[in-house]
């Protein structure tokens, strides 16, 4: 972004702006003083530590202005300060203003599983014809969404934004910030069931993505999910469904896969063959969502085929890596829930290997009262004849450990506390051979990425 400080002040309805602010250009916005670039607007947020205390670091990093909460006793020295009631709210207001100014088409994506992969696939296809900006990393909440918007260049034609949620009302708020032209729901699973209690309530919360949908917008959703098809009847916008069932407007057939890619055909043109560099039928569903979006923007199917074959996937989402012993590692350690674990285990069981299939599973968080039963419920997805070694990490995975007792003998079933990742890494390193495949899957709070780093470092 590029805006004069005086324009930012007007967007925030700040009165009596000094003339000198007309000469100050802001070309970046950030809330982390360690990541500021010269020419930035610093946004001091209050979290575990108050961002206002890092103003000197921000100035030293090249910040040219700062938002400043009016409840602070003194203004900062040596830098223009835009005094606001709440810096976070001001960040959101500024993002809303900038979005209206650039006026791209907005594709908003949510879902219990697959929203990040779908976002990456969608952006890749749309980029074949348009200037596209997409959500980076996990910037999908009240802070991350405004940051994504403010990261757009002036020539952005389509913004592909991922919207996350962990409570009712959150998607309502985010949807009204981004005002999508296209709203997408990938699926309804058990993620965050600790807070919502039932999948019905999760579906209600996911449907909030339509609350900011423009009048001429399109709602695209997984038509295989009865919870969505039922609720979609209440949405007045145009609709388009995708899924595996032939009742959908877009569906897949002739799905084939190996250990590195999956191919499929679609009903819109059975002669075209799509390939994605990922394993699992569930990722075909994500690809269908992306293709559905692309059809709404009149992308040729040939361009979609090319884009999906080599799209850039966000790190640690079913990402194949090479271990230092030569083993192949499937890293999927950003988030986890029962549906996702069962799907990736099913794919692992079908993956060909000369060695063993080894599953490293960490706690699935935010399952609340159902945590024990849902961890135990993974038992049926693990077969010693298909997945020979199982390593379990975390307090909740102890429930699965007990459930697998007898199904796996003690030499092939291993359990660790979440604080024992170094021990886990060492044991894996001693066990693994070059012919093995290792899956690592857990909620981010377990930090299995540290184990991935140990297994892959040179």
The number of helices, as runs of H, and strands, as runs of E, in the chain is: 16, 21
- Provide the annotated binding site: 111-117
Give the start-end residues of each E strand in 13-170: 25-26, 28-30, 40-42, 65-69, 81-84, 105-110, 132-134, 158-162
The candidate with the shortest Cα–Cα distance to 309, out of 268, 261, 360, is 261
Alpha-carbon distance 114 to 283, whole Å? 7
CA dist., res. 31 & res. 339, Å (int): 34
The secondary element (H helix, E strand) that includes residue 241 is strand 238-243
Cβ distance 204 to 197 under 8 Å? no
Calpha distance 42→39 (Å, rounded): 10
Antiparallel, parallel or unpaired: β 319-322 and 328-332:
antiparallel
By CB neighbour count within 10 A (0-12 exposed, 13-18 middle, 19+ buried), where does 82 fall? buried
Residue 386, both tokens: 């298909």
Binding residues for ATP: 111-117
Contact 165, 171 (CB under 8 A): yes
CB atoms within 10 A of CB 194: 15
Cβ–Cβ under 8 Å, residues 278 and 84: no
Angle at 306 between CA 300 and CA 307, to 5 degrees: 90
| Element containing residue 245 per DSSP (H, E) | none
């Amino acid at each position: 972004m590029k805006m004069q400080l005086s324009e930012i002040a007007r967007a925030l309805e700040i009165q009596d702006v000094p003339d000198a602010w007309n000469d100050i250009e802001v070309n970046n916005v950030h809330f982390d003083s360690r990541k500021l670039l010269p020419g930035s607007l610093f946004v001091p947020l209050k979290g575990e530590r108050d961002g206002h205390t890092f103003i000197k670091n921000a100035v030293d990093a090249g910040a040219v202005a700062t938002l400043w909460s009016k409840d602070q006793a003194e203004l900062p020295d040596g830098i223009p300060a835009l005094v606001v009631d709440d810096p976070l709210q001001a960040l959101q207001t500024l993002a809303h203003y900038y979005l209206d100014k650039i006026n791209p088409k907005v594709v908003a994506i949510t879902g219990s599983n697959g929203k990040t992969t779908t976002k990456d696939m969608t952006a890749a296809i749309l980029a074949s014809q348009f200037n596209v900006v997409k959500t980076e990393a996990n910037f999908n909440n009240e802070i991350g969404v405004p940051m994504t918007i403010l990261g757009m260049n002036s020539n952005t034609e389509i913004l592909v934004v991922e919207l996350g949620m962990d409570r009712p009302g959150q998607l309502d708020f985010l949807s009204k910030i981004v005002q999508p032209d296209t709203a997408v729901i990938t699926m309804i699973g058990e993620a965050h069931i600790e807070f919502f209690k039932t999948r019905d309530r999760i579906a209600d919360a996911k449907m909030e993505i339509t609350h900011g949908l423009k009048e001429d917008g399109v709602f695209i959703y997984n038509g295989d999910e009865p919870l969505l098809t039922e609720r979609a009847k209440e949405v007045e916008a145009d609709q388009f469904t995708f899924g595996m069932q032939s009742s959908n407007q877009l569906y897949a057939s002739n799905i084939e896969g190996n250990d590195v890619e999956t191919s499929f055909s679609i009903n819109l043109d059975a002669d075209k063959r799509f390939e994605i560099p990922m394993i699992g039928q569930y990722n075909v569903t994500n690809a269908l969502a992306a293709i559905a979006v692309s059809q709404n923007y009149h992308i040729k199917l040939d361009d979609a085929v090319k884009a999906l074959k080599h799209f850039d996937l966000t790190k640690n989402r079913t990402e194949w890596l090479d271990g230092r012993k030569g083993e192949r590692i499937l890293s999927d350690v950003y988030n986890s829930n029962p549906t996702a674990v069962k799907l990736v285990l099913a794919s692992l069981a079908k993956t060909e290997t000369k060695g063993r299939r080894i599953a490293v599973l960490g706690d699935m968080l935010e399952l609340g009262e159902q945590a024990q039963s849902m961890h135990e419920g993974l038992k049926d997805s693990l077969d010693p004849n298909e997945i020979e070694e199982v390593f379990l990490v975390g307090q909740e995975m102890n429930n699965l450990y007990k459930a697998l007792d007898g199904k796996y003998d003690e030499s092939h079933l291993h359990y660790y506390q979440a604080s024992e990742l170094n021990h886990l890494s060492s044991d894996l390193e001693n066990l693994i051979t070059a012919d093995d495949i290792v899956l690592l899957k857990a909620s981010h709070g377990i930090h299995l990425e540290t184990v991935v780093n140990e297994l892959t470092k040179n």
